[in-house]
Amino acid sequence: MSAPRGWSTTTCGQCGELRPCHRKILEQRVCQRCMLRFRRTAKPCPGCGQLKVLAFYDPQRRPACAGCTGHEPVYACPSCGREDSPFGRHCGPCTLRQQLTELLTDPTGDIHPKLQPVFDALMAGPRPQTTLYWLTRASARPDILRDMARGELEISHAAFAALPATRSVDYVRDLLAALGVLPPYQLAVERIVPWLRELLTDLPKPHAEVIDRFARWQLLRRLRLLGERDRVTRGGVQHARAAVLGAARFLRWLDEHNATLATATQAQLDDYLVSHPGRGRSLKVFLDWTQRSGVGSDLHVPGAERPLPQVTLSDQRRWQQVERLLHDDDIRLYVRIGGLFMLLFAQPLARICRMRADQITTEPDGAVTVTFDAAPIQLPDPLDRLVLDQLARRGQASYASRPDRWLFPGGLPGKHLVTENIRSQLVALGIRPSAARKAAMFDLAARMPVPILAELLGLSTNTATRWAALAARDWSQYAAMRRA
């Protein structure tokens, strides 16, 4: 490529290539590419101590800033004078402030009052350049914020429900919810509503009316209550959908056999379950509800007796996996900690992912504890140091700064890490979460009484008792011994 008129080519003092070199850095002529790269390397100036581009020598031949060496501040932002966050001719924060102001200004000429938290959070983000990149991507849907600021789109969940269900739209919605602009919500739960509406349109009216009541007053109500405590899981949502589909299939079968919920007999239900194996679990939820609500006859799905869990991971192999997660720095930190909480304390990944930062405590003597349920557990070395590192460096969304209560924050604002993120990486390491957790539970159940096991790990007494039975330990007299 030929040099612009008036620019002579010479050997760049940084990259050594023959290029137009119209600026000097540390008394060497450099090309445009090297100048731009060097401009992004602001360091504390030995003269003034501020973050500056050290492109000049001071009298002691130390790299220093323009101000301390009597040069023009060619690398400074014309608006604020900072040199540590370049973005075009200006700095990142000044450019971001300008673009956010344009984006969020209402018809009165001021930033929309309800969107002020968005302005503050995006301005406080860790990297203005990343936020600016997000704002320039049409697919990221920053136009939603512009339309809301101008009054062209309501600031509500209903407005988002009418938009296409894309990850970018969900991100903006999650951001507004995390910042308190919108009330909290559970996306997975809300998406059931249009799915249910579409399903009901294809059903006979009597069936649709019953299933609509069942879904809204039993399934959705329970999911929303769980959502208030952030206890909604993918499995819970899938189970709710399966219950709706199971109810629809059973009602259709009753129609085909000239029966209704009110007239169906237990013998007919038994015939249905025999001819459709595997449908009993999802159907049981529906039939239990019909009995409580007086919609149907007295029908019971026989409960399958739960077998004792099977432990397939040897204790030796389990401790090999523990050692690897403790000491292999090539594995992501949050994956190591999640795997160790599972292998050592038998915690399910769903519970690990939604752990709060305040479940980790540093005692006055320096001991680090984790509280999974009611009682704190002291963490051994080096797990305690790994957990403290996670607390110190736990991530946040790239675009916005926000208070985050999660020990393992996710990529969406206000959300914790999803289970699949850790699970898939553990599987890639040869660690099967289900087998690992069962092996840990077997070991712990063999070493402590049921009440302590339940208290430390957050288990029900029935679950702890089943594991104690599997471990062949009889702690039934523990309570009496403790009182003695």
Least confident of 43-47, 198-202, 309-313, 378-382: 309-313
Confidence of residue 101 (pLDDT cuts 50, 70, 90): very high
pLDDT tens digit sequence for 244-265: 999 999 999 999 999 999 899 9
Q: What is the pLDDT of residues 130-147, one digit of tens each?
A: 889 889 888 888 999 999
pLDDT in tens, 310-334: 778 888 999 999 999 999 999 999 9
**Sequence spans of domains, the chain:** 9-91, 92-185, 190-293, 315-481
What predicted TM-score, i.e. pTM, was given to this entire model?
0.65
Element (H, E) at 450: helix 450-457
Is domain 315-481 given the CATH code 1.10.600.10 in the classification?
A: no
pLDDT-derived band at 307 (thresholds 50, 70, 90) equals: low
Q: What is the mean pLDDT of residues 42-56?
A: 93
Q: pLDDT tens, 352-371? A: 998 999 999 999 988 999 99
Torsional sign, CA 453, 457, 460, 465: negative
Which two tokens mark 21? 């070199």
pLDDT value at residue 482: 44
Is residue 475's pLDDT more than 70?
no
Q: Can you give the pLDDT at residue 483?
A: 45
> Around Cβ 294, how many Cβ atoms within 10 Å?
7
pLDDT bucket at 5, cuts 50 / 70 / 90: low
What does the chain come to in residues? 484
- State the Cα–Cα distance between residues 210 and 312, nearest whole angstrom: 44
What is the predicted pLDDT for the residue at 209? 94
- pLDDT higher for 6 or 224? 224
Judged by phi (left if over 0) then psi (alpha if -120 to 50, else beta), residue 167 lies in alpha
